[in-house]
Amino acid sequence: MDAARHAAVFVIQRLLQALGVMLVILVIAFAIRSSLGDPVRELTGQAASESERTALRHELGLDRSWPAQLLDYLKGAAQGDLGTSYIYKRPTVAVILDKFPASFELVLAASLIVAVLALPGGIAAAVRPRSWTAKLILSVSVLGVSVPVFLTGILLISLFSVLLGWLPAFGRGEVVSIGGWETSFLSLDGLAHLLLPALTLSSIMLPLFVRLIRSAMLDELGRDYIRTARAKGLKPPRIWLRHGLRNAMLPIVAQGALQFGNLLAFTILTETVFQWPGMGFLFLEAVTRADIPLITTYLVAVGAIFVIANTIADLLSLALDPRVTFSEADA
Amino acid sequence: MGFLTRLLLLTSLVLAVTAAGLLAPGQSFGVSPAIAAGGKTLRMAYDADPVSLDPHEQLSGATLQMSHLLFDPLLRFDTEMKLQPRLATRWEQIDERTTRFYLRPGVKFHSGRELTANDVVWTLNRLKRSPDFKALFEPFEGARVIDNLTVDLITKKPYPLVLNLATYIFPMDQAFYSGEDERGEAKDAIVKHGASFASTHVSGTGPFMVVKREQGVKLVLKRFDDYWDKQSPGNVQRIVFTPIREPATRVAALLAGDVDFIAPVPPGDLDRLRAADCCDLITMESTRILTFELNQDRVPAFKDKRVRLAVNYAINREGIVAKIMRGFATPAGQLSPDGYAGHDPALTPRYDLAKAKDLMREAGYEDGFSITMIAPNNRYAGDYRIAQAVAAMLAKINIKVDLQAMPKAQYWQRFDAREGDMLMIGWQSDTQDSANLFEFLAMTPDPKTGYGQYNAGDYSNPEVDKLTLESQTVIDSEARAELLQRVEHILYDDGAMVPLQWQHLSWGARKGVDIGAVLNQLGMPYLGDLVIE
């Protein structure tokens, strides 16, 4: 069988899996609905009478059992209607899609920072594992995970915005719109606004990748072919980069794709500190104001992102590793 | 040079170049000079932005703040909490149920139309339809056009608070909000959970017009060229309103000069802002009372007045204000804040631990008992920490408290179900009057009339009910004040609930932004009159 067909079968399988995952998410989301808070309370002033609230609750269909509400939702979903946000008063899908570019770019920028810093850092820590540089790199990177993201953000703001006045403290600044996608990358103001949040977000992933690259490299550097290469008299940098790193890349790339999805889903804290108008911030807002339709659609969207990221990670490993084929993946 | 060193050097070089590119000396991005010359721009940040542009959709502080920018009320409370003419130039009592308002001539709506008495009548009718406002306007029978610029407000019975409620009448442009929008929906529909014409379109008579609105991100307003108030010293041409939800970031944005004006300032940052050279801090007592209610349905001991008084005596309100609120609240012994008709300075906060213990012993509860306490943790300033402190203080009279704190989204469900032995609530009177406090918090709960809706303790005293109802139709202000003060005395002597403090409001502004001149106790800055140097 040809590879293209295998690939198609693989992707279709994954799509079916994705649907299953989303259905499970939906069932859970609807089952816990009533404990997410009372949207009617959020929609009415404190002095509104109980009868007004009851009427509104009925209008929203919140007085019905959760399986009935779920069934309604699925019926709507079949026609492409995933509900209307209470606070934004627009279809939930449209609200989330509006916020997607901001989060995506934040994660992309953070990933770039991780790549630029973690690769040299990880390699350095692997080739001279006992040197002080290696120890310094490892301990500094530990700092990244041990300081809460929230605090990292506030510290960066205090330093670069308040004390030095170099960078803005909040928001996305000026964005350039390209075919409906609003990007921060094409204006200086946009980039300046992006830098601190991206640094903050990268601080979570940086240590992970430094360690990952280090251990993958250590693994490869201990192998026979490296010893052979050394014996042949090749220069160390060539051995590290052309031989060691190339083979070590496989798990790193797979992890990278997985963590990219992870970052996208967990931008909530960073976005809150920087008032970054992305999906994470939107989610927190929805939870605080008990915007149940928006919470539901967000959970489904995050489920979809995870499945997609996983699929891409698998496809990447397949493409990179000649030892694995689609038929094996099928088995 | 070893490979390793080279690698490190290279990396640092890349980083340095990137950094230098972004942070070229003398340049700072997004930190444009706080106030540009010429047309003044005010960049402000609140914790949230209005959910809707419809002034009748939700009765909340955020809605009213917005209303004062885009609309104008018939009259308003000035910075001294005195009534000030706005769209009504004067008013007079015609008979005991009718108040006549004379409208200011030549007032223009944003649409270009002129304000007439018809707009006022139309607006009152819409208020009486609004799920959130209808209760407030229940005493009103309606309004009647006398001539183009004269309108009568008629109440069902003699009603002492007509003028207070006139501050809630922000005339809307009848013609603008009439008819159907492109989806075939009525333009004047009040929709709480979906799109409506009025939630995204505005024509008011206010000092500002909406230029751009990106919900949750930015609201841009510009001054209305034909604004009627030419006497106003206000020189703000443009307002850029950004919500910044995280308090620490909000303060940082002000200190960094990214915004000119913020509210609220978190208690933890008050000292920092007060000390900052760049900025001014303004705080003011608000009219919001924070209190605990004692649930008599669930705790038999709370039916005993001596136990309720013991609880009141056991709590060190001064201590809570000093330690937790850093002086950012006023200890309370009654519900009505200073300035309200029902306020009696003699009703000072109690605190006497020995007396509290005596009362517990007298009531037969020397060994105490266990109760649950519920409180929100993101609704009022210091809410959770105050609850913790109260719980610790009650332990001293052997009342063991199991405190459960939760976000406001979950809290009100629990509160409405009365699921707690001690329940925290903050209340701000919509009418700027004591009777409203008693109606909601102290009167015997009655689902039919709606009185006592937030009296989760189920405290009931026929005298309180009678006096409060009586006050609703007494026009003479002195006689009325006496009634209301009598209620406060009864509540105080009964230990009906546990008033803790009146919370304070806080604003921070860059120097040169004269925000102090346009603020009042209601927390609604009149930015139309703001002067920026």
At B277, which amino acid appears? Answer: D
At B390, which amino acid appears? Answer: V
Q: What is the pLDDT of residue A325?
A: 61
Give the CATH number of the domain where residue B46 resides: 3.40.190.10
ipTM given for this complex: 0.81
Give the CATH number of the domain where residue B326 resides: 3.10.105.10
Structure tokens at B373: 């306490």
- Kindly state whether residues B222 and B342 are assigned to the same domain: no
Of B29, B45, B58, the CB nearest to A167: B29
- Kindly state whether residues B11 and B145 are assigned to the same domain: yes
d(CA A161, CA B258): 9
Q: What is the pLDDT of residue A140?
A: 80
Map residue B164 onto helix, strand or coil. Answer: helix
- Tell me if A124 and B4 make a contact (CB, 8 A cut-off): yes
- Tell me if A48 and B132 make a contact (CB, 8 A cut-off): yes
Of A52, A158, A290, the CB nearest to B252: A158
- Tell me if B51 and A167 make a contact (CB, 8 A cut-off): no
Q: Which helix (H) or strand (E) holds B415?
A: helix B408-416
Q: Which residues of B touch A39 (CB under 8 A)?
A: 193
Structure tokens at A45: 């002033």
- Kindly state whether residues B210 and B289 are assigned to the same domain: no
Residue B410: closest CA among chain A residues belongs to which residue?
A: A37
Q: Which residues of A touch B194 (CB under 8 A)?
A: 84, 89
At B503, which amino acid appears? Answer: Q
- Kindly state whether residues B210 and B299 are assigned to the same domain: no
B274 with B281: CB under 8 angstroms?
yes
Q: What is the pLDDT of residue B152?
A: 97
Say whether residue B193 is in contact with chain A using an 8 A CB cutoff: yes
A264 with A107: CB under 8 angstroms?
yes
- Tell me if A173 and B29 make a contact (CB, 8 A cut-off): yes
SS (H, E, C) chain A: CCHHHHHHHHHHHHHHHHHHHHHHHHHHHHHCHHHHCCHHHHHCCCCCCHHHHHHHHHHCCCCCCHHHHHHHHHHHHHCCCCCECCCCCCEHHHHHHHHHHHHHHHHHHHHHHHHHHHHHHHHHHHHCCCCHHHHHHHHHHHHHHHCCHHHHHHHHHHHHHHHCCCCCCCCCCCCEEECCEEECCCCHHHHHHHHHHHHHHHHHHHHHHHHHHHHHHHHHHCCHHHHHHHHCCCCHHHHHHHHHHHHHHHHHHHHHHHHHHHHHHCCHHHHHHCCCCCHHHHHHHHHHCCCHHHHHHHHHHHHHHHHHHHHHHHHHHHHHCCCCCHHHHHC
d(CA A220, CA A5): 34
- Tell me if A154 and B252 make a contact (CB, 8 A cut-off): yes
CB-CB neighbours of B530 under 10 Å: 26
- Tell me if B15 and A116 make a contact (CB, 8 A cut-off): yes
Chain B: give the shortest CA distance to residue A87, in Å.
Answer: 6
Residue A153: closest CA among chain B residues belongs to which residue?
A: B249
Q: Which residues of A touch B183 (CB under 8 A)?
A: none
Of A116, A133, A169, the CB nearest to B258: A169
Taking only residues 103 to 122 of chain B, the set having a beta carbon closer than 8 angstroms to any beta carbon of chain A reads: none
Asked if residue B270 belongs to a domain, the reply is no
- Tell me if B256 and A169 make a contact (CB, 8 A cut-off): yes
Chain B: give the shortest CA distance to residue A295, in Å.
Answer: 13
Asked if residue B275 belongs to a domain, the reply is no
* Buried/exposed B103-140: b ≥16 CB within 10 Å, e otherwise: bbeebbbbeebbbbbebbbbbbebbbebbbbbbbbebb
Backbone angles phi, psi at B261, to 5 degrees: -155, 125
d(CA B417, CA A24): 31
Q: How many CA atoms lie within 13 A of B229 on its CB side?
A: 23
Q: What is the pLDDT of residue B34?
A: 38
- Kindly state whether residues B492 and B519 are assigned to the same domain: no
Of A37, A127, A287, the CB nearest to B4: A127
Model pLDDT for residues B441-499, shown as the tens digit of each residue: 999 999 888 899 999 999 999 999 999 999 999 999 999 999 999 999 999 999 999 99
- Kindly state whether residues B496 and B363 are assigned to the same domain: yes
Interface test with B, best of A114, A136, A162 (most B CBs within 10 A): A162
DSSP string, B171-207: ---TTTT-SB-TTS-BTT---SSS--HHHH----SSS
Of A116, A173, A289, the CB nearest to B30: A173
B399 with B311: CB under 8 angstroms?
yes
Asked if residue B62 belongs to a domain, the reply is yes
Q: Which residues of A touch B510 (CB under 8 A)?
A: none
Taking only residues 458 to 497 of chain B, the set having a beta carbon closer than 8 angstroms to any beta carbon of chain A reads: none
CB-CB neighbours of B46 under 10 Å: 21
d(CA A169, CA A156): 9
Q: Provide the β-strand partners of residue A65.
A: none
CA triple A205-A206-A208, angle to 5 deg: 65
Give the list of residues 6+ apart from residue A25 with CB closer than 8 angstroms, or none: A299, A300, A303
* Buried/exposed B190-226: b ≥16 CB within 10 Å, e otherwise: bbbbebbbbbebbbbbbbbbbeebebbbbbbbbbbee
CA triple B280-B285-B290, angle to 5 deg: 130
Say whether residue B199 is in contact with chain A using an 8 A CB cutoff: yes
- Of B278, B413, B53, nearest to A162 by C-alpha is B278
Of B135, B248, B453, the CB nearest to A154: B248
Residue ranges, chain B, pLDDT below 70: 1-38
Of A124, A161, A171, the CB nearest to B8: A124
Of B245, B249, B408, the CB nearest to A157: B249
Structure tokens at B179: 């008819």
Q: What is the pLDDT of residue B28?
A: 38
Chain B: give the shortest CA distance to residue A145, in Å.
Answer: 21
- Tell me if A192 and B30 make a contact (CB, 8 A cut-off): yes
- Tell me if B52 and A89 make a contact (CB, 8 A cut-off): yes
Chain A: give the shortest CA distance to residue B254, in Å.
Answer: 9
Residue A52: closest CA among chain B residues belongs to which residue?
A: B131
Chain CA centroid to CA B530, Å: 20
- Kindly state whether residues B83 and B228 are assigned to the same domain: yes
Of B8, B58, B450, the CB nearest to A45: B58
Q: What is the pLDDT of residue A322?
A: 65
Chain A: give the shortest CA distance to residue B365, in Å.
Answer: 36
d(CA B42, CA B145): 39
Q: How many CA atoms lie within 13 A of B180 on its CB side?
A: 4
d(CA B211, CA B369): 59
Asked if residue B271 belongs to a domain, the reply is no
Residue B217: closest CA among chain A residues belongs to which residue?
A: A277
Interface test with B, best of A32, A33, A38, A46 (most B CBs within 10 A): A46
Q: What is the pLDDT of residue A329?
A: 46
Q: What is the pLDDT of residue B18?
A: 47
Q: How many CB pairs under 8 A join A and B?
A: 183
- Of A291, A306, A303, nearest to A91 by C-alpha is A291
A200 with A148: CB under 8 angstroms?
no
- Of B61, B193, B196, nearest to A289 by C-alpha is B193
Q: Provide the β-strand partners of residue B219.
A: B213, B241
Taking only residues 214 to 243 of chain B, the set having a beta carbon closer than 8 angstroms to any beta carbon of chain A reads: 215-217, 242-243
d(CA A275, CA B242): 9
Q: What is the pLDDT of residue B291?
A: 97
Map residue B241 onto helix, strand or coil. Answer: strand
Of A124, A189, A275, the CB nearest to B30: A189
Say whether residue B354 is in contact with chain A using an 8 A CB cutoff: no
Determine whether A275 is exposed, middle or buried from the number of CB atoms within 10 Å of its CB (0-12, 13-18, 19+).
buried
Q: Which domain holds residue B139?
A: 3-240+513-529
Chain A: give the shortest CA distance to residue B309, in Å.
Answer: 28
Asked if residue B248 belongs to a domain, the reply is no
- Sign of the dihedral defined by the CA atoms of residues B208, B210, B211, B214, in that order: positive
d(CA B448, CA A210): 66
Chain B: give the shortest CA distance to residue A202, in Å.
Answer: 15
Asked if residue B259 belongs to a domain, the reply is no
d(CA B140, CA B239): 36
- Kindly state whether residues B520 and B471 are assigned to the same domain: no
Structure tokens at A87: 């606070």
- Tell me if B427 and A46 make a contact (CB, 8 A cut-off): yes
Of B7, B249, B409, the CB nearest to A42: B409
- Kindly state whether residues B112 and B222 are assigned to the same domain: yes
Map residue B412 onto helix, strand or coil. Answer: helix
Asked if residue B274 belongs to a domain, the reply is no
- Tell me if B246 and A275 make a contact (CB, 8 A cut-off): yes
Chain A: give the shortest CA distance to residue B227, in Å.
Answer: 30
Chain A: give the shortest CA distance to residue B162, in Å.
Answer: 18
- Kindly state whether residues B190 and B335 are assigned to the same domain: no
- Kindly state whether residues B141 and B22 are assigned to the same domain: yes
Q: What is the pLDDT of residue A265?
A: 64
Structure tokens at B17: 């170049």
Q: How large is the C-alpha radius of gyration of chain A?
A: 24
- Sign of the dihedral defined by the CA atoms of residues A287, A289, A292, A297, in that order: negative
- Tell me if A56 and B11 make a contact (CB, 8 A cut-off): no
Asked if residue B49 belongs to a domain, the reply is yes
Q: How large is the C-alpha radius of gyration of chain B?
A: 26
- Tell me if A287 and B409 make a contact (CB, 8 A cut-off): yes
Per residue of chain A (331 residues), give pLDDT as tens: 566 787 788 888 888 888 888 889 899 888 888 788 888 888 888 878 888 888 888 888 888 888 888 998 889 888 888 889 988 989 999 999 999 999 999 999 998 998 898 888 888 888 787 888 888 888 887 777 788 888 888 899 989 988 888 899 888 888 888 887 888 888 888 899 999 999 999 888 888 888 888 888 888 877 888 788 878 877 777 777 777 777 777 778 778 877 877 777 668 889 999 999 999 999 988 988 889 999 999 988 888 888 888 888 787 777 777 666 655 444 3
How many distinct structural domains can be found in chain B? 2
Chain B: give the shortest CA distance to residue A255, in Å.
Answer: 23
Taking only residues 40 to 79 of chain B, the set having a beta carbon closer than 8 angstroms to any beta carbon of chain A reads: 45, 51-52, 58-60
Give the list of residues 6+ apart from residue B338 with CB closer than 8 angstroms, or none: B285, B345
- Kindly state whether residues B221 and B294 are assigned to the same domain: no
- Sign of the dihedral defined by the CA atoms of residues B493, B496, B500, B501, in that order: negative
